[in-house]
Chain A
């Protein structure tokens, strides 16, 4: 159970430093709101059309804003050689990685929970009809995207053009997860219950989470320590 404690220590450390500065959260939240605003200029749909494409709109916003959070996840450790210290500490790489993933998931979930009502109000979309299934989808998809994203944040932390490389590399890999999240969110916002068809997408999402969590925890030591 030592590893669980280590994971939560890392997650708590990340969240604490985020809550004290609120740098990332403020930046990504305002970025998300600006993109939501921009969408209103890109098209002028009826409320019904907006519901049909709500999944795509929202998850693009979350993916863009999420990249800001993920970019900072490892690079915030670069000043004063904090990353070296973390790697040299007795915490194993996988615990460090999972801790950071949990912190990122919580930050991204906060952002999403703000964006949903804002989206509902500005685009006149009642989105709460299938509230709890929707939350399940949001949590599953956020976990999957964040696991891949945090892994790539570690992979790109020492690069020139880090801010550019992370989204370029990570979005194509996220596509299966994003696809599932988009399909499910659109259907649930339109008020469809989870039927056999949607269960397939839910399975895809769960599979994505499991495969990439396993791969990332296995390989993160190689990336961080060498």
Chain B
């Protein structure tokens, strides 16, 4: 059943990506000021959304772990963080390519870019911490606490374009800017691509969760064999 759902999610994401790509490349025109390179926004922004959503769900499940002490919550938090990091990397890399074309430089130390990089590094640190602890309950506990300390960075990243005057463009999506900053057809494509990435993230999450569960079972068997 789970396996089937995973394949359905993957297929849905793939089909949606093909459809979105055809919209982006064949239907939507070049943007007036930026030309063809603006299309990167269809992956840049959904990548950031998927990253935020993944690490937010990791935060929720870390808190749930601390309350209930059930290990599956820890597994979920670790898997969601790993997948969040992948999509965070998509966001950073596409942003840098865009910056190279539009600004002429790969990187600017502005609050939005810097806070995103810091958040990404902090979640990489979370995975490093997990590797350094062998005992499962201690690992789960310390990782959950670290996750709570890390999340404020994501909030700062999200609000950075409101709080500071950044080199990074200000809000363009209608739910933050009040509308009129982006063509509705383009904005719709952006949301559809967010859905495609989200389905892909969900499928990857299921793969990762299954690996982790299998690993725990193997560990248990190994301990049992050791006891005999």
Which residues of the partner chain A approach B150 to less than 8 Å between Cβ atoms? 173
Q: Which of B118, B121, B142 has the most CB of A within 10 A?
A: B142
Residues of the A chain whose Cβ atoms lie less than 8 Å from the Cβ of B118: 172, 175
Complex Cα distance A185/B54, Å? 37
Residues of chain A lying within 8 A (CB to CB) of residue B129 = 155-156, 159, 165, 169
**Quick one: which of B93-121 are within 8 Å of A by CB?**
118, 121
Assess the A169–B146 pair: CB atoms within 8 A: yes
Contact flags B132-159 to A (C-beta < 8 A → 1, else 0): 1100011001101110111011001000
Report if A165-B128 is in contact (Cβ < 8 Å); known contacts: A172-B121, A172-B122, A215-B149: yes
Residue pair B138, A158 in contact (C-beta under 8 Å)? yes
A148 and B129 alpha carbons, distance in the complex (Å): 16
B69 to A: closest C-beta gap in Å: 9
Identify A219's interface contact among B128, B148, B153, CB under 8 A.
Answer: B148
Q: Using Cβ atoms and an 8 Å threshold, which residues of chain B touch A159?
A: 129, 132-133
Which residue on chain B has the smallest CB distance to residue A176? B156
Q: Once the chains bind, are B132 and A226 in contact (CB under 8 Å)?
A: no
Q: Determine whether the beta carbon of A223 is less than 8 Å from that of B132.
A: no
A11 to B18, CA, bound (A): 63
CA–CA, A8 to B153, complex, Å? 33
| A172 vs B129: C-alpha distance when bound (angstroms) | 14
Is A42 close to B, CB under 8 A?
no
Asked if A219 contacts B122 (CB within 8 A), the reply is: no
Asked if B122 contacts A226 (CB within 8 A), the reply is no
- Taking CB as reference atom, which chain A residue is nearest B118? A172
Question: Does any Cβ of B come within 8 Å of A2's Cβ?
Answer: no
The answer, yes or no, to whether B125 is at the interface (CB within 8 Å) is yes
A180–B214 CA distance with the chains assembled, in angstroms: 46
Size range of the interface on B?
Answer: 20 to 34
A121-159 CB contacts (< 8 Å) to partner B: 148, 151, 155-156, 158-159
- Contact A168:B128 (CB < 8 A) given known A176-B156, A222-B66, A226-B141: yes
Cα–Cα, bound, A52→B146 (Å): 35
Residue in contact with A155 in the complex, picked from B146, B152, B153, CB distance below 8 Å: B146
Contact between chains at B138 and A172 (CB < 8 Å): no
Chain A 196-226 against B: per-residue CB contact (8 Å), 1 yes, 0 no? 0000000000000001100100010011001
Flag if A223 contacts B125 (CB, 8 Å). Answer: no
Asked whether A38 is an interface residue with its Cβ less than 8 Å from the other chain, the reply is no
Q: Is the CB of B145 within 8 A of A158?
A: no
Contacts of B145 in A (CB 8 A): 155, 219, 222-223
Q: Residue A4 at the B interface, CB < 8 A?
A: no
Please give, as numbers and ranges, the residues of chain A lying within 8 Å of B153 by CB-CB distance. Answer: 172-173
Which residue of chain B has the shortest Cβ distance to A173 in the bound complex? B149
Chain B residues with CB below 8 A from A20, complex form: none
Contact partners of B141 in chain A: CB under 8 A: 222-223, 226
For the complex formed, measure the closest distance between the CB of A111 and the CB atoms of chain B, giving whole angstroms: 25
Shortest Cβ gap from A179 to chain B (Å): 10
Q: Decide if B122 touches A223 in the complex (CB within 8 Å).
A: no
* Complex contact A155–B142 (CB within 8 A): yes
Which residues of chain A come closer than 8 Å to B144, judged between CB atoms? 222
The complex places the Cα of A159 from the Cα of B129 at a distance, in Å, of: 8
Q: How far is the CA of A159 from the CA of B148 in the complex (A)?
A: 19
Interface of B with A (CB < 8 Å)? 66, 118, 121-122, 125, 128-129, 132-133, 137-138, 141-142, 144-146, 148-150, 152-153, 156
- Contacts A156-B129, A173-B150, A219-B148 known; list 7 others, CB within 8 Å: A151-B149, A159-B133, A165-B129, A175-B118, A176-B156, A211-B152, A226-B137
